[in-house]
Amino acid sequence: MNEKYLYPLMAVIALFLVAYVGVEAVGLQWLFGIIIPFMALITFVVGFVMRVNDWARSPVPFAIPTTCGQQESLPWIKPNKIDNPFTTGGVIIRMALEILLFRSLFRNTTCKLNEGPTISYVWEKWLWLFSLAFHYSFLTVLVRHLRFFLEPVPSSLQILDKLDGFLQIGLPGVMISGVVLLAAAMFLLLRRIVISQVRYFSLAADFFPLFLIIAIAVSGIMMRYFTKVDIVGVKELTMGMVTFHPHIPDGIGAIFYVHVFFVSVLLAYFPFSKLMHLGGVFLSPTRNVRCNTRAHRHINPWNPKVKVHTYAEYEDDFREKMIGAGLPVEKEL
């Protein structure tokens, strides 16, 4: 059982060692600071586009939305325009709620078998809450990192930094997003290990990205609060990348290269993994089509020609009996 999380954990430790040793002992700053990140980014972009393209190549033969509310029907019955959207506007709202607020997950319940027997279904908000916290803190961290790639740093990013650090604890100030990201990722990890049902169907491929993201968060937090990375040097390196004049400034600690290497692995791994749910959620055919299939015909591009048993054949089979029963027939005996 535990090979499912031991292998991914070992893999992340190995990645750490590769980068750390590579930089500290071998001096491969160029490789880990510039070449691998570039290649990872290209892999991510190309891989992502190709994967989405591959999905899009397959048609949607049938409109099969999951209807989660009252249909559009008689004029005096109030339809649920979001959970059973009849119009494109409704679909957009449904998708926005799904993507931005994880609406379906919000419905989650836990089933309990009690004495009696009675079965109870209790609203289970923690998975929803921590997933939301995880994704939004990750997004915030990501956006905050844009300051390394822009000069001058736009005021909107500075405002975001202020908001993120509004607690004003410590120096440098604690960014809430980083802490929340780490906490939420830990929750998602522990959930997979502790809840026996979830552990049962979890794969190594579920643990690996969690360990990797935790490692990214930890190495980032280390740099910011503990080893106090040479931030001017880092900015010099990142600006060199975006202006296509890559160079490696002196004095950036190995932990930075480890951090960048983790991120690179995550980017390169992304298109080949379940992380593609980022793209897939937009394309899910049970959510992103209108629930108006009785009012508008959906076209299947490969609608097959099929062999049918016609009425004429049916009448041929039963004509005598039909006439006997007084049923009208097309052809008399």
Partner 1 sequence: MADLKPDELIARTNFTPPKTGWMDTPTVIREGMFCYAAKPKSVATLGLPYPREWNPLNDDWKLPENWKEIIIEGMKDRLERFRTFKIFMDICVRCGACADKCHFFIGTGDPKNMPVVRAELLRSIYRNEFTKAGKILGRIAGARELTLDVLKEWWYYFFQCSECRRCSVFCPYGIDTAEITMMGRELLNLLGLNIDWIATPVANCYMTGNHMGIQPQAFVDMLDFFADEIEDTTGVRVHPTYNKKGADILFTTPSGDVFGDPGTYTAMGYMILFHYLKERYGLDVTWSTFNSEGGNFGLFTSNEVMKRLNIKMYAEAKRLGVKWILGGECGHMWRAITQYMDTMNGPADFLEEPVNPITGTKFENAKSTKMVHIVEFTADLIKHNKLELDPSRNDNLKVTFHDSCNPARGMGMFDEPRYVIKNVCNNFYEMPRNCIREQTFCCGSGSGLNASEDMELRLSGGLPRANAVKYVQEKHGVNMLACICAIDRAVLPPLMGYWVPEVDVTGIHELVTNALIIPGEQEKTVNLRGEDIPNKDEMDPDEYYTRPDFSGR
Rounded Cα–Cα distance for residues 12 and 215 (Å): 8
121 binds partner 1 (CB under 8 A): yes
6 interacts with partner 1 by CB under 8 A: no
Position 294 contacts partner 1 (CB under 8 A): yes
Q: Is 204 in the site for partner 1 (CB under 8 A)?
A: yes
- CA 191: distance to chain centroid? 18
Q: Give CA–CA dist 260/23, Å, rounded.
A: 12
Q: Is 91 in the site for partner 1 (CB under 8 A)?
A: no
Contact criterion met (CB below 8 Å) for 211 and 165: no
Q: How far is the CB of 288 from partner 1 (least distance, A)?
A: 8
Residue 30 sits in the site that holds partner 1 (CB under 8 A): no
Q: How far is the CB of 78 from partner 1 (least distance, A)?
A: 6
* Residue from the set 89, 162, 300, 316 that interacts with partner 1 by CB under 8 A: 300
43 part of the interface to partner 1, by CB under 8 A: no
**Terminal C-alpha separation, the chain:** 72
Binding of residue 228 to partner 1 (CB under 8 A):
no
Q: Is there binding between residue 152 and partner 1 (CB under 8 A)?
A: no
From the list 32-40, 143-151, 171-179, 312-320, the region that binds partner 1 by CB under 8 A is 312-320
Q: What distances in angstroms separate CA 28 from CA 38, 128, 239, one per listed residue?
A: 15, 42, 19
Residues 6+ positions from 280 with CB-CB distance below 8 Å: 55
* Phi-psi group of 251: left, alpha or beta (phi > 0 → left; psi -120 to 50 → alpha; rest → beta): left
Q: Is 155 a binder of partner 1 (CB under 8 A)? A: no
Give me the long-range contacts of 142-150 (CB less than 8 A, separation at least 24).
Answer: 144/175, 144/177, 148/234, 148/235, 148/238, 148/239, 149/238, 149/239, 149/241, 149/242
Q: How many residues does the chain have?
A: 333
Judged by CB under 8 A, the residue of 27, 89, 172, 280 near partner 1 is 280
Nearer to partner 1, 186 or 276 (CB): 276
104 counts as binding partner 1 under rule CB under 8 A: yes
Q: Give the integer Cα–Cα distance in Å for 205 and 302.
A: 35
111: how many CB neighbours lie within 10 A of its CB?
A: 9
Q: Applying CB under 8 A, which part among 156-164, 217-225, 259-267, 277-285 lies near partner 1? A: 277-285
Q: Which residue spans within the chain are E strands per DSSP?
A: 109-114, 118-123
Segment holding 320, helix H or strand E: helix 311-324
127 interacts with partner 1 by CB under 8 A: yes
Is residue 194 within the footprint of partner 1 (CB under 8 A)? Answer: no
Q: Which of 43, 44, 93, 108 binds partner 1 (CB under 8 A)?
A: 108
Shortest distance, position 66 Cβ to partner 1, whole Å:
5
- Residue of 250, 295, 331, 333 interacting with partner 1 (CB under 8 A): 295
| 333: contact with partner 1 by CB under 8 A | no
Give the binding range for partner 1 (CB under 8 A) out of 13-21, 168-176, 240-248, 314-322: 314-322
